[in-house]
Structure 1
């Protein structure tokens, strides 16, 4: 009886951890409908011919997110022609991070010349589903919205020219070959997502 009780307790703990942690590689992601800086609503179902989606949780103010901005812009350009749509999502609550307001998102997108939707997770409903914890935090989905890779873009936050391993690009290369990524999960390095207290 005691053994059964411990097993039940462990199961409950694991289930509660899973629900907190969000998606894992192999899970099917749910679509979303979020407002972009152009005032339009976007969802993955808008892209019928997409081969996959690069969902990047990012923001205006986080130093890590800022260091990755140019790389995110390049990724969007490089992979759009290959059928992969990059969607950037700001998960921060502007009450906790005023620099990440929708109005300032519009300013930042214009300054940087974003060519991809920069979406606002109003009410912070989407990032918990995904299990995003940092900005930036990347989720690679195939055309069926199956999660194939979660984590960091590459192995060097500080210097794009010193990157040795391009985690995200390697995962996309595997998908292109019809294979599963060798490394489906890495640790996202960045700022914590800001929630109103």
Structure 2
């Protein structure tokens, strides 16, 4: 397992790169699918990573707390040939097992991850209603799968965004397994 830290490719104020990806609901999703939300949280994730597994409850909490205002979108860009645990069928199983209610999309070509500059799982990007980047970074301050979070970083930042307040830090790196790139 290669542990990576998020990198800065998109900067604060950059527009969310568009995508057209298949979701576990068997429908195509794009940025326009989420136009009626006040904010968009895109999280690059997968099924097998212990860092993602440790954050699923926290991501579900964000969905449950803000789901009417914030679109939560998980994107799996891992090479599912080399890592069959991350196949589309296993994404559906994982979502069912973990009670995932947010959109979970597959990025077969890995082009979306590259456009966002995602390198690890989870790698979250928070955009405002104009789809400008306001925060790229951690969901909470538990940096290892076995750590207990004492600060809900993403929830605090979403609350600030929805209240019209400035987010102090626009980049606070997330840590996780590396995205499994195709050769």
Tell me the TM-score normalized by structure 1: 0.84
Extract unaligned runs of 5+ from structure 1: 1-19
Q: Which residue of 2 aligns with 1:154?
A: 140
Structure having the higher helix fraction is 1
Alignment equivalent of 1:26, drawn from 1, 7, 13: 13
Is the Cα contact below 8 Å between 1:26 and 1:148 reproduced in 2?
yes
Q: Which residue of 2 aligns with 1:44?
A: 31
Q: Which residue of 2 aligns with 1:97?
A: 83
Q: Which residue of 2 aligns with 1:53?
A: 40
Larger RCO, structure (CA 8 Å, separation 6 or more): 2
Between the two proteins, the alignment pairs up a number of residues equal to 176
Distance 1:178 1:159 in 2: 34
Tell me by how many angstroms 1:84 deviates.
0.5
Tell me by how many angstroms 1:98 deviates.
1.6
Q: Which residue of 2 aligns with 1:106?
A: 92
Alignment equivalent of 2:51, drawn from 64, 71, 81: 64
Distance 1:32 1:80 in 2: 21
Distance 2:169 2:153 in 1: 7
Tell me by how many angstroms 1:103 deviates.
1.3
Tell me by how many angstroms 1:23 deviates.
0.7
Tell me by how many angstroms 1:29 deviates.
1.4
Aligned pairs (5 A) from 1:158-197:
158=145, 162-197=148-183
Q: Which moved more, 1:114-123 or 1:164-173?
A: 164-173
Q: Quick check: which has more Rg, 1 or 2?
A: 1
Is the Cα contact below 8 Å between 1:167 and 1:183 reproduced in 2?
no
Extract unaligned runs of 5+ from structure 2: 1-6
Counterpart secondary structure, 1:114: coil
Distance 1:45 1:189 in 2: 29
CA RMSD of the aligned region, Å?
1.6
Q: Which residue of 2 aligns with 1:87?
A: 73
Distance 2:150 2:137 in 1: 16
Counterpart secondary structure, 1:179: coil
Counterpart secondary structure, 1:39: coil
Alignment equivalent of 1:136, drawn from 122, 143, 166: 122
Tell me the TM-score normalized by structure 2: 0.90
4+ residue segments displaced more than 6 Å? none
Distance 1:159 1:71 in 2: 14
